[in-house]
Amino acid sequence: MATIKDIAQEAGVSAATVSRVLNNDATLAVSEETRARIFSIAEQLQYKPSRLRRMRKEEKLSRQQIGLLMWSTLEDEHSDPYFSAIRRGIEIRCEELGISIVKVLRGSSRTDLQPLHELDGLIVVGSIDEQDVLQLYRNAKRLVFVNHSKELSDFDTVKLHFEQATRAVVAHLLRLGHKKLGYIGGSDQVHRLNRQEADIAGIEPRRAYFEKALRELDLFDERFVIETEWSSNGGYESMNRLLQLEPLPTACFIGSDPMAVGALRALHEHGVKVPEEMAVVGFDDIEISAFLNPPLTTVRVHTEHMGRAAVQLLLERIDGREAAVHMTINTTLVIRESCGSMQQ
């Protein structure tokens, strides 16, 4: 693609002169012969000004029609804003680029799941079986999976750096002197669109990396690991179970902030002081985390960025990128009073 510099070199004038001529600068003192030569060379080289290229790119984007397939329900998003924040990132980036999201489907409802083959691309948020998704949208090169449990080598993916996040939590608790660490979290499932039951994807990554980190230090105690449902009630009931053990763990890493809310309630009801008798660390950094009693130390997940990244990957695919790309998003450990230290 020709540039102003190419035209200037061919015409034997400066790039500034070419720019002012092509922008019809009436104050420029240049001969009509030079002006005509510049326009002739620009036409020969098929020069398109950046403004025109930008307009054509924006026009192309505005014609793109993409779909969004989510597993979570609106009720799920209300109780745990993790997936709604990812969706918001997708919607904001699409709005900035003038891209239309013409279909938003909820896989959990299993209604209105009609083929989407006419779309220019599809973003899937949550762990939905990839073969089921291909029944809805057959163009595998224009599929982006966000926060999927499995390693999907043939598709573009956006996921969290769970190992970095978990090791940061464990390292912080160890620095505070804790040796007996517990874990409460949910299971890792891949949901199916064509049947009720989900497939178990394996050990949930937060739990897996927690166990790995502690086994390396010979500190892992299987009794201190409880798997439950991803909810505040699950966290509440699991902490009640954990509190029946003797001895108790002195710190507990909890797989989501809503679960941590339930766990803190159980600790309060049992008169266990946080953080003096048990330190608590959550995961997500939802808005309420900073206002709990005590304020919750947690892992901040950059969910909006995950959504934005998914849009970027999809646009690259639409532009012709062939190889699948796997994007891993780091997290940030936010230190508050629930673990007993405001310092990292």
CATH of the domain at 187: 3.40.50.2300
In this predicted model, what pLDDT tens digit does every residue of 34-75 receive, in sequence order? 888 888 888 788 776 665 455 455 556 567 788 999 887 777
For all residues of the chain together, what is the average pLDDT? 87
Query: Do residues 80 and 114 share a domain?
Result: yes
Q: Over 50: is that where the pLDDT of 1 sits? A: yes
Residue 199 has pLDDT above 50, yes or no: yes
123 with 170, same domain: the answer is no
State the pLDDT at residue 64: 78
Average pLDDT (253-267) is 96
For residue 344, being part of any structural domain is answered with: no
Per-residue pLDDT, 155: 96
| pLDDT at site 283 | 96
Residues 86 and 200 in one domain: no
282 in the same domain as 223: yes
pLDDT (average), residues 182-210: 83
Mean of pLDDT values over 228-254: 95
Q: Out of 51-60, 156-165, 246-255, 276-285, pick the least confident.
A: 51-60
pLDDT at 55: 47
Is residue 53 situated within a structural domain? no
In the chain, the number of structural domains is: 3
Cα distance between residue 277 and residue 305, in whole Å? 36
Q: What does the block give as tokens for 80?
A: 């745990």
Residue 41 has a pLDDT of 85
Q: Between residues 190 and 309, which one has the greater pLDDT?
A: 309
Domain span including residue 140: 59-160+303-329
Q: Are residues 283 and 169 in the same domain?
A: yes
What's the pLDDT at 52?
47
Sheet holding 143-146, edge to edge: 100-106, 65-70, 121-125, 143-146, 156-160, 326-329
Do 92 and 224 lie in one domain? The reply is no
Q: What is the pLDDT of residues 100-158, one digit of tens each?
A: 888 888 876 665 667 788 888 999 999 999 999 998 899 999 999 999 988 899 999 99
Would residue 134 count as lying in a domain? yes
Is 251 part of any domain? yes
Point out the least confidently predicted range of 66-70, 236-240, 262-266. 66-70
Please check whether residue 52 lies inside any domain of the structure. Answer: no
Say if residue 266 is in the same domain as residue 193. yes
Query: What mean pLDDT comes out for the span 257-285?
Result: 96
Q: Give the count of alpha carbons within 13 A of 42, CB side only.
A: 20
Domain identity same for 115 and 220: no
